[in-house]
Protein backbone atom coordinates (compact mmCIF):
# COMPACT_ATOMS: atom_id res chain seq x y z
CA UNK A 1 0.00 0.00 0.00
CA UNK A 2 1.47 3.37 -0.97
CA UNK A 3 2.04 6.07 1.61
CA UNK A 4 -0.46 8.36 -0.13
CA UNK A 5 -3.17 5.68 -0.19
CA UNK A 6 -2.57 4.88 3.47
CA UNK A 7 -2.91 8.57 4.33
CA UNK A 8 -6.19 8.71 2.40
CA UNK A 9 -7.66 5.82 4.38
CA UNK A 10 -6.40 7.16 7.70
CA UNK A 11 -7.70 10.65 6.91
CA UNK A 12 -11.14 9.28 6.02
CA UNK A 13 -11.27 7.19 9.16
CA UNK A 14 -10.03 10.08 11.29
CA UNK A 15 -12.99 12.12 10.11
CA UNK A 16 -15.29 9.26 11.05
CA UNK A 17 -13.44 8.63 14.31
CA UNK A 18 -13.93 4.85 14.25
CA UNK A 19 -15.63 2.13 12.26
CA UNK A 20 -18.88 2.81 14.06
CA UNK A 21 -18.65 6.52 13.40
CA UNK A 22 -17.82 5.87 9.79
CA UNK A 23 -21.01 3.89 9.42
CA UNK A 24 -22.93 6.69 11.08
CA UNK A 25 -22.06 9.14 8.32
CA UNK A 26 -23.28 6.79 5.58
CA UNK A 27 -26.72 6.36 4.09
CA UNK A 28 -29.44 6.78 6.71
CA UNK A 29 -31.50 4.08 5.03
CA UNK A 30 -28.58 1.68 5.00
CA UNK A 31 -27.89 2.35 8.68
CA UNK A 32 -31.49 1.68 9.62
CA UNK A 33 -32.01 -1.56 7.70
CA UNK A 34 -28.76 -3.07 6.42
CA UNK A 35 -27.64 -6.22 8.24
CA UNK A 36 -24.47 -6.02 10.31
CA UNK A 37 -23.03 -9.43 9.55
CA UNK A 38 -19.49 -10.28 10.56
CA UNK A 39 -17.88 -11.60 7.41
CA UNK A 40 -14.13 -11.71 8.08
CA UNK A 41 -11.57 -10.18 5.75
CA UNK A 42 -10.38 -13.64 4.77
CA UNK A 43 -11.52 -15.60 1.73
CA UNK A 44 -13.87 -18.42 2.73
CA UNK A 45 -13.40 -21.86 1.16
CA UNK A 46 -15.54 -22.86 -1.78
CA UNK A 47 -18.70 -24.61 -0.54
CA UNK A 48 -18.17 -27.44 -3.09
CA UNK A 49 -15.43 -28.96 -5.23
CA UNK A 50 -14.22 -26.86 -8.21
CA UNK A 51 -15.75 -29.34 -10.68
CA UNK A 52 -19.08 -29.66 -8.84
CA UNK A 53 -20.88 -27.09 -11.01
CA UNK A 54 -19.83 -28.66 -14.33
CA UNK A 55 -20.91 -28.68 -17.07
CA UNK A 56 -22.72 -25.39 -16.36
CA UNK A 57 -19.49 -23.85 -15.02
CA UNK A 58 -16.26 -25.71 -15.68
CA UNK A 59 -13.66 -26.49 -13.04
CA UNK A 60 -11.25 -24.32 -15.05
CA UNK A 61 -13.56 -21.31 -14.75
CA UNK A 62 -14.19 -21.90 -11.05
CA UNK A 63 -10.46 -22.24 -10.35
CA UNK A 64 -9.57 -19.10 -12.28
CA UNK A 65 -12.49 -17.12 -10.85
CA UNK A 66 -11.99 -18.17 -7.23
CA UNK A 67 -8.20 -18.36 -7.00
CA UNK A 68 -7.36 -15.34 -9.17
CA UNK A 69 -10.20 -12.81 -9.15
CA UNK A 70 -11.89 -13.49 -5.81
CA UNK A 71 -8.62 -14.06 -3.95
CA UNK A 72 -7.15 -10.92 -5.50
CA UNK A 73 -9.81 -8.69 -3.92
CA UNK A 74 -8.94 -9.98 -0.45
CA UNK A 75 -5.23 -9.51 -1.13
CA UNK A 76 -5.72 -5.94 -2.33
CA UNK A 77 -8.04 -5.06 0.55
CA UNK A 78 -5.50 -6.26 3.12
CA UNK A 79 -2.88 -3.97 1.60
CA UNK A 80 -5.28 -1.01 1.72
CA UNK A 81 -6.52 -1.33 5.30
CA UNK A 82 -3.51 -2.70 7.15
CA UNK A 83 -2.61 -0.25 9.91
CA UNK A 84 -5.99 1.51 9.81
CA UNK A 85 -9.09 1.13 12.05
CA UNK A 86 -10.78 -0.77 9.21
CA UNK A 87 -8.32 -3.64 9.52
CA UNK A 88 -10.43 -5.19 12.30
CA UNK A 89 -13.82 -4.47 10.71
CA UNK A 90 -16.06 -6.99 8.99
CA UNK A 91 -16.40 -6.86 5.21
CA UNK A 92 -19.92 -5.47 5.62
CA UNK A 93 -18.64 -2.68 7.86
CA UNK A 94 -15.84 -1.82 5.45
CA UNK A 95 -18.30 -1.67 2.54
CA UNK A 96 -20.69 0.62 4.40
CA UNK A 97 -17.89 2.79 5.80
CA UNK A 98 -16.33 3.37 2.39
CA UNK A 99 -19.40 3.55 0.11
CA UNK A 100 -19.73 6.86 -1.72
CA UNK A 101 -16.40 8.24 -0.47
CA UNK A 102 -14.13 9.18 -3.38
CA UNK A 103 -11.01 8.97 -1.22
CA UNK A 104 -11.92 5.38 -0.26
CA UNK A 105 -12.96 4.13 -3.69
CA UNK A 106 -10.26 1.45 -3.85
CA UNK A 107 -11.21 0.19 -0.38
CA UNK A 108 -14.88 0.00 -1.34
CA UNK A 109 -14.23 -1.71 -4.67
CA UNK A 110 -12.11 -4.47 -3.17
CA UNK A 111 -14.23 -5.00 -0.04
CA UNK A 112 -17.49 -5.06 -1.98
CA UNK A 113 -16.10 -7.36 -4.65
CA UNK A 114 -14.82 -9.73 -1.97
CA UNK A 115 -18.24 -9.73 -0.29
CA UNK A 116 -20.18 -10.02 -3.55
CA UNK A 117 -18.13 -13.04 -4.59
CA UNK A 118 -18.69 -14.68 -1.21
CA UNK A 119 -22.43 -14.55 -1.88
CA UNK A 120 -22.05 -15.61 -5.53
CA UNK A 121 -20.48 -18.94 -4.58
CA UNK A 122 -23.13 -19.39 -1.89
CA UNK A 123 -25.87 -18.63 -4.44
CA UNK A 124 -25.01 -21.77 -6.42
CA UNK A 125 -25.17 -25.43 -5.44
CA UNK A 126 -24.43 -28.48 -7.62
CA UNK A 127 -27.99 -29.79 -7.92
CA UNK A 128 -29.93 -26.64 -7.16
CA UNK A 129 -32.40 -26.42 -4.28
CA UNK A 130 -35.94 -25.32 -3.47
CA UNK A 131 -37.07 -22.25 -1.54
CA UNK A 132 -38.62 -22.53 1.90
CA UNK A 133 -42.37 -22.14 2.25
CA UNK A 134 -41.88 -18.56 3.45
CA UNK A 135 -39.68 -17.56 0.54
CA UNK A 136 -41.88 -19.43 -1.95
CA UNK A 137 -44.90 -17.48 -0.68
CA UNK A 138 -43.02 -14.19 -1.00
CA UNK A 139 -41.99 -15.10 -4.56
CA UNK A 140 -45.62 -15.76 -5.50
CA UNK A 141 -46.69 -12.53 -3.81
CA UNK A 142 -44.08 -10.31 -5.48
CA UNK A 143 -43.51 -12.02 -8.88
CA UNK A 144 -46.43 -14.39 -9.46
CA UNK A 145 -44.26 -17.48 -9.86
CA UNK A 146 -40.70 -18.73 -9.45
CA UNK A 147 -40.42 -18.95 -13.24
CA UNK A 148 -41.37 -15.28 -13.51
CA UNK A 149 -38.75 -14.38 -10.92
CA UNK A 150 -36.10 -16.34 -12.82
CA UNK A 151 -37.15 -14.47 -15.94
CA UNK A 152 -36.61 -11.16 -14.16
CA UNK A 153 -33.20 -12.28 -12.89
CA UNK A 154 -32.23 -13.32 -16.41
CA UNK A 155 -33.43 -10.02 -17.84
CA UNK A 156 -31.46 -8.06 -15.24
CA UNK A 157 -28.31 -10.12 -15.79
CA UNK A 158 -28.35 -10.16 -19.58
CA UNK A 159 -29.38 -6.51 -19.76
CA UNK A 160 -26.63 -5.25 -17.44
CA UNK A 161 -24.33 -3.14 -19.63
CA UNK A 162 -20.72 -3.99 -18.94
CA UNK A 163 -19.54 -5.59 -15.73
CA UNK A 164 -21.77 -6.04 -12.72
CA UNK A 165 -24.23 -8.19 -10.84
CA UNK A 166 -27.88 -9.31 -10.92
CA UNK A 167 -29.47 -9.59 -7.48
CA UNK A 168 -32.46 -10.88 -5.64
CA UNK A 169 -32.71 -8.74 -2.51
CA UNK A 170 -35.19 -8.14 0.29
CA UNK A 171 -36.22 -4.56 0.93
CA UNK A 172 -38.28 -4.29 4.13
CA UNK A 173 -39.60 -7.79 3.47
CA UNK A 174 -40.44 -7.21 -0.20
CA UNK A 175 -38.47 -9.08 -2.84
CA UNK A 176 -36.74 -7.04 -5.53
CA UNK A 177 -34.63 -7.90 -8.58
CA UNK A 178 -32.00 -5.36 -9.51
CA UNK A 179 -28.72 -5.02 -11.34
CA UNK A 180 -25.68 -3.11 -10.15
CA UNK A 181 -22.53 -2.00 -11.90
CA UNK A 182 -18.97 -3.03 -11.06
CA UNK A 183 -18.69 -3.56 -7.27
CA UNK A 184 -21.97 -1.95 -6.23
CA UNK A 185 -24.22 -3.90 -3.88
CA UNK A 186 -27.80 -3.54 -2.57
CA UNK A 187 -26.30 -3.57 0.93
CA UNK A 188 -25.48 0.13 0.59
CA UNK A 189 -29.15 0.80 -0.24
CA UNK A 190 -30.35 -0.78 2.99
CA UNK A 191 -31.42 -4.04 1.33
CA UNK A 192 -30.56 -7.62 2.27
CA UNK A 193 -28.94 -9.51 -0.63
CA UNK A 194 -30.42 -13.01 -0.99
CA UNK A 195 -28.96 -14.29 -4.26
CA UNK A 196 -26.51 -12.86 -6.76
CA UNK A 197 -25.38 -13.73 -10.27
CA UNK A 198 -21.94 -12.51 -11.33
CA UNK A 199 -22.03 -11.06 -14.85
CA UNK A 200 -18.44 -9.88 -15.02
CA UNK A 201 -16.97 -11.63 -18.06
CA UNK A 202 -14.49 -13.57 -15.92
CA UNK A 203 -17.48 -15.50 -14.53
CA UNK A 204 -18.30 -17.12 -17.88
CA UNK A 205 -15.92 -16.15 -20.69
CA UNK A 206 -13.75 -19.29 -20.59
CA UNK A 207 -16.88 -21.42 -21.03
CA UNK A 208 -19.29 -19.27 -23.01
CA UNK A 209 -17.12 -16.52 -24.52
CA UNK A 210 -19.46 -13.54 -25.00
CA UNK A 211 -22.69 -15.58 -24.73
CA UNK A 212 -23.92 -14.25 -21.41
CA UNK A 213 -27.47 -15.47 -22.05
CA UNK A 214 -26.18 -19.06 -22.41
CA UNK A 215 -24.38 -18.70 -19.08
CA UNK A 216 -27.65 -17.63 -17.45
CA UNK A 217 -29.54 -20.55 -18.96
CA UNK A 218 -26.88 -22.94 -17.66
CA UNK A 219 -26.77 -21.71 -14.07
CA UNK A 220 -30.44 -21.05 -13.29
CA UNK A 221 -30.94 -24.74 -12.32
CA UNK A 222 -28.02 -24.41 -9.88
CA UNK A 223 -29.38 -21.51 -7.85
CA UNK A 224 -29.42 -22.27 -4.14
CA UNK A 225 -32.89 -21.18 -3.10
CA UNK A 226 -32.52 -22.93 0.25
CA UNK A 227 -29.60 -20.66 1.07
CA UNK A 228 -31.58 -17.63 -0.08
CA UNK A 229 -34.38 -18.76 2.23
CA UNK A 230 -32.06 -18.65 5.24
CA UNK A 231 -30.93 -15.14 4.35
CA UNK A 232 -34.56 -14.10 3.80
User: What are the residue boundaries of the structural domains of the chain, listed by start?
Assistant: 3-37+59-122, 133-231
3-state secondary structure of 41: coil
Looking at residue 27, its pLDDT comes to: 38
Fold of 3-37+59-122: Helix Hairpins (1.10.287)
Dist. CA 160–CA 166, nearest whole Å? 8
Judge whether 133 is annotated as a binding position: no
Who's near 131: CB < 8 A, 6+ residues apart?
A: 139, 146, 225, 226, 228, 229
Residue 78's alpha-carbon distances to 84, 86, 188, in angstroms, are 10, 10, 21
DSSP 173: T
Q: In terms of CATH architecture, what is 133-231?
A: 3-Layer(bab) Sandwich (3.55)
Dist. CA 15–CA 69, nearest whole Å? 32
Structural contact between residues 94 and 187, judged by C-beta atoms closer than 8 angstroms: no
Judge whether 70 is annotated as a binding position: no
Structural contact between residues 116 and 196, judged by C-beta atoms closer than 8 angstroms: yes
Who's near 98: CB < 8 A, 6+ residues apart?
A: 12, 22, 86, 104, 105, 107, 108, 111
Dist. CA 37–CA 34, nearest whole Å? 9
Judge whether 207 is annotated as a binding position: no
Looking at residue 37, its pLDDT comes to: 73
The 3-state secondary structure of 174-198 reads EEEEEEEECCCCHHHHCCEEEEEEE
Judge whether 198 is annotated as a binding position: yes
| Crossing angle (nearest 10°) for helices 105-122 and 71-81 | 150
Sign of CA dihedral 57, 61, 66, 70: negative
pLDDT band for position 38 (50/70/90)? confident
pLDDT in tens, 159-213: 999 999 999 999 999 999 999 999 999 999 999 999 999 999 999 999 999 999 9
pLDDT in tens, 86-131: 999 999 999 999 999 999 999 999 999 999 999 999 999 999 999 9
Amino acid sequence: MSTSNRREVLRAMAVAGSVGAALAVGSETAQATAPRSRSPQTQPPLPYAPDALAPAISARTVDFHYNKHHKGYFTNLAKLVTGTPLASASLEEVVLASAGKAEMKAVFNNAAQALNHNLYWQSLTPKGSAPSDALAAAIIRDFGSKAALEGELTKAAVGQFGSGWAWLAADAGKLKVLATMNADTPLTQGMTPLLVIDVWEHAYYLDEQNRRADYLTAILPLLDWAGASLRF
